[in-house]
Structure 1
Amino acid sequence: MAIKRNKRFHAEVATSSLSDIMFFLLLFFLIISTLANPNVIRMTLPKSQTNEKTNKQLITLSVTEQKEFFIDKEQVAFEQLETTLLSKIDPSKQQTVVIRIPFNLQVQDLVDVLQIGVRNKLKFVIATSPK
């Protein structure tokens, strides 16, 4: 009696290398996401020819298009802007205030913020995006 064996081909997919690839992608995105600056409010900045980066002690002052003021992601009314800014600055360190203001806001809004720095002898820098 002849017994026939079942010699059907079964397709298999090797998934061991796929798990390695997924692990490396996960690590890559985790590392990249930690490099993003979490203290930034998204806005379109004015453009400039030169762009200098600084590694000093920074305090970020952001102004939105609706004229809302944020000091390091904390919303502050314009009337309390000066007192809050002075409380955040450490006089023993040379801290710089980075102003992030949209390009389409009026110049008077920028001047109002800069006058706070002039009255209190603070160092202000205007953030721009490269052209």
Structure 2
Amino acid sequence: MNLKGRKRPHAEIHTSAMNDIMFFLMLFFLIASTVTNPNVIKLMLPKSDSGQSVSKKTVTLSVTHDLKYELNKQPVTLEEIPNRLTAFQQQAQELTIVLYVDKTVAIQDVVQIMDIANKMAIKLVLATEQK
């Protein structure tokens, strides 16, 4: 009885196909997770019969280096700005002014426009460029 000379069968498992499958599953979940946005909260909003909505409107106000004012690309004077903004305020409940000012304009001229917006209770945003 030669037991040492017997060769025992070895069980082998080839995992190369399983590695491919796991790689593709990982790739799928990575792509799927970037497409979906987990920060979004889905809400069931109430319905209304009147159908009124709050309108938000933005108005652009530009000031050039030689103190020429343009409200929505229409030339205006500093004295006309409150009257024009009142007309825009009647059209939209929430009005926002996006202020484009040349960097050479004195800060006092910008503060005058900010005072007009504060007196009229209008939001004002100063536009800037990215570096």
Q: TM-score range by the shorter chain?
A: 0.5 to 0.7
User: Residue 88 of structure 2 contacts residue 95 of structure 2 at CA under 8 Å; is this kept in 1?
Assistant: no
- In structure 1, stretches of 5+ residues that fail to align are 1-55
After TM superposition, give the deviation of residue 112 of structure 1 in Å: 0.5
Provide the C-alpha distance between the structure 1 equivalents of 2:91 and 2:68, rounded to a whole number of angstroms.
Answer: 26
Residue in 1 that maps onto 2:66: 66
Provide the C-alpha distance between the structure 2 equivalents of 1:116 and 1:94, rounded to a whole number of angstroms.
Answer: 16
The aligned length equals 76
Q: SS at the partner of 2:79?
A: helix
TM-score, with normalisation over the residues of structure 2?
0.54
- Give % identity: 28
Go from structure 1 to structure 2 and tell me whether the alpha carbon gap of 1:92 and 1:72 turns closer, same or farther (over 3 Å shift). closer
TM-score, with normalisation over the residues of structure 1?
0.54
Go from structure 1 to structure 2 and tell me whether the alpha carbon gap of 1:106 and 1:76 turns closer, same or farther (over 3 Å shift). same
Where relative contact order (Cα < 8 A, 6+ residues apart) is larger, the structure is 1
Q: SS at the partner of 2:87?
A: helix
Q: SS at the partner of 1:89?
A: helix
- In structure 2, stretches of 5+ residues that fail to align are 1-55
Provide the C-alpha distance between the structure 2 equivalents of 1:94 and 1:81, rounded to a whole number of angstroms.
Answer: 17
Provide the C-alpha distance between the structure 2 equivalents of 1:60 and 1:69, rounded to a whole number of angstroms.
Answer: 10
CA RMSD of aligned residues (A): 1.5
Residue in 2 that maps onto 1:103: 103
